[in-house]
Amino acid sequence: MSDKYTQFVSQGFGRELARRLGLPRPVELRRYEAGKPLVPGPVLVLGNGDEGRSQSAEGIAVELLSWGLDVRRNALPKEKLGAIVLMLDQVRRPEDLEVPMLTAARSIRDLAPGGRVVTVSRTADSAEDPAAAAARQGIDGIVRSLAKELRDGATANGILLGRDATPQSPGALGALRFFLSGRSAFVDGQLLTVSSEAGRAPGDPDKPLAGKVAVVTGAARGIGAAIARTLHRDGAVIVAVDVPAAGDHLAEVANEVRGTALQLDITVPDAGERIIHHALERHGRLDILVHNAGITRDKLLANMDDGRWRSVIAVNIASQLRINDAILGSGRLPVAPRIVSVASTSGIAGNRGQSNYAASKGGVIGMVRAAAPLLEARGGAINAVAPGFIETEMTARIPFLTREVARRLNSLQQGGTPADVAEAIAFLASDAASGVSGEVLRVCGQNLVGA
C-alpha cells in the first residue's frame, strides 16, 4: 500500500512530470510475502581480500547457497542482482576498503529494484589498534552514504560483529537474512551489532516464532495491532493488552489472531504481575514482551503543564521500567523473555513540541542499554526499534503540507507502514536475533532528521 503521491508518480503522466520537475519519485517497497523469494535475483558475495575474495566470503557464499539462493562470486555482465553482500570483517587499515568497495561499485547499477547491499564488519570499539578502528568506523560512513545513493527501493544496511561474534554466529546469519528480505523494507542506512555467538537459528525461517507466547501492549489499534498480526503470522500465540476503554477493538484484534485479550492500564502498579499471571495461566509461558503502548501530549516546553508531562512519562517509560522489574524479579519465569520496546526518532533527534515525548523515548533507549546485561544474565534480551514517519491515525492528523514534507524527508521518500515496524520487532523478538541485545534499530527509511 502506498500513499497517493507515490501512486501518482509511479506511472504515465505523473512519472514524467515528477522526472521533469525533479520531484521525489518514491517507489512501492519490496515487502515480505510468504512464498516469495528472499531476494529479487542472484546475490553477489564479495570479500576484502584480493579480487574480492576472503575466507569469510567463501563461508557466507556456502551458507547462502544452503538457503537456496543463487550466489555469484563474480558479477556477470549486465545481470540484475538481488543483493550484494560485502564481507569486510577482516579489514585492518582504511586502505583495505578500496578493493572491495570499488569492486562492489561496478555492480551497484545492476541492483534490481528493491535490491539490498549488506556489509558485515567488526565494531570499531573491538579493534586493537587505531588503524583497524578507523577502517571499521569508515564502513559506518560508507553504509550511510550508499543508502542515500541507492534508488528504486533498494537499501544498504550493515551488520557489526562484536568481539565474541563471527560471520557464522546465529545472530549474524539471522540479521543477514532479515536485511536481505522484504521484512526490512523500511530499514535503511542502519548498522546492527551482534555481540555474541549465543543462541541458535529458528527451525523454520517462515515461522520463526512457532511455539512462543508474545505479549503486545497497546495492541487494540495502529502499530500495536500490526505487531500482533505479524507475530501471529510468524507463529506466536498473542496476548493483546490495551486499556479497558479500547476493549472492543482489543477483542477484535485478539480474535483475529486467535489469541487472548488482557484489558489493562499498563500504568497500574501491579501491571507486570498481571501480565505474567495472564500469560502463564492462559498459555503456560511468556517468551516475548513488546512494549508498544504509547501516547503523545505535545506542547512547546514553554507552555507545558504537569498533566501532559506526567502522563507521557507514566505511559511511555515509567510503566515499562516497572513491568521489566516485575519480569526480572519474578520467580515464576524460568527464562527471561526477549523484550522489544518501541522508541522513536524523536527520542534521538528531538522534535519541536515533544520535549515530554522525547524524554520518554530517549528514556526507552537508555533503559534498553542498561537493562540488556540484566536480561541476558537470565537468558533473555532487550532491544528497541525507533520508528520514523509511519502512516498511522496519529500522523494522518498532521496538517497536509507538514505531513507531505515529513514523509519525504528520508532516503526512501515515503512514510513507513505499521507492518514495517512490526517486521523489525518480529525479527528482534525471534531467535534469529540471538546475540543482539541493548540495540536500537531505526525503522525510518533513513530519516534525514537525526540521521
Q: Does 243 bind ligand NAD (CB under 6 A)?
A: yes
Helix axes 222-233, 247-256, angle to 10 degrees: 20
Residue 397: all three cell numbers together? 492528523
Dist CA 85 CA 81 (whole Å): 11
CB 91 within 8 A of CB 121: yes
Active site residue 5: no
445 lies in the binding site for ligand NAD (CB under 6 A): no
Reduced to 3 states, what is the DSSP secondary structure of residue 77? coil
What is the closest distance, in whole angstroms, from the C-beta atom of residue 133 to ligand NAD in the complex?
32
- Indicate which single residue of 315, 412, 422, 451 sits in contact with ligand NAD (rule: CB under 6 A): 315
Give dist(CA 174, CA 223) in Å, integer: 23
Where does this chain touch ligand NAD (CB under 6 A) — which range of 29-37, 92-100, 278-286, 382-390? 382-390
Residues 214 and 288 sit within 8 Å (Cβ to Cβ): yes
Nearest to ligand NAD of 159, 286 (CB atom): 286
Kindly provide the b/e burial profile for residues 6-18, where b requires at least 16 CB atoms within 10 angstroms of the residue's own CB.
bebbeeeebeeeb
Contacting residue, 10, 126, 267, 330, with ligand NAD by CB under 6 A? 267
Among residues 355, 316, 347, the alpha carbon closest in space to that of 440 is found at 347
Figure out which of the listed residues 184, 344, 430, 437 binds ligand NAD, where binding follows CB under 6 A: 344
The catalytically annotated residue of 357, 361, 389, 428 is 357
Give the nearer residue to ligand NAD in terms of CB position, either 135 or 315: 315
Total residues contacting ligand NAD (rule CB under 6 A)?
Answer: 27
Residue 297 touching ligand NAD (CB under 6 A): no
Instruction: For residue 393, give the nearest of 222, 262, 240 by alpha carbon.
Output: 222
224 binds ligand NAD (CB under 6 A): yes
- Which region among 102-110, 205-213, 293-301, 326-334 touches ligand NAD (by CB under 6 A)? 293-301
Report the SS3 class of residue 213: strand
Q: Is residue 222 involved in binding ligand NAD (CB under 6 A)?
A: yes
Q: Which of residues 119-158 bind ligand NAD (CB under 6 A)?
A: none
CB of 394 to ligand NAD, least distance (A): 4
- Is residue 167 a contact point for ligand NAD (CB under 6 A)? no
By CB under 6 A, tell whether 263 contacts ligand NAD: no
Q: Distance between CA atoms of 305 and 292, rounded to whole angstroms?
A: 25
| The residue count for the chain | 451
Least distance from ligand NAD to the Cβ atom of residue 46, Å: 35
230: cell is 505479524
Is 445:188 a contact under the CB 8 Å cutoff?
yes
Name the site residues for ligand NAD (rule: CB under 6 A): 217-218, 220-224, 242-243, 246, 265-267, 292-295, 315, 342, 344, 387, 389-390, 392-395
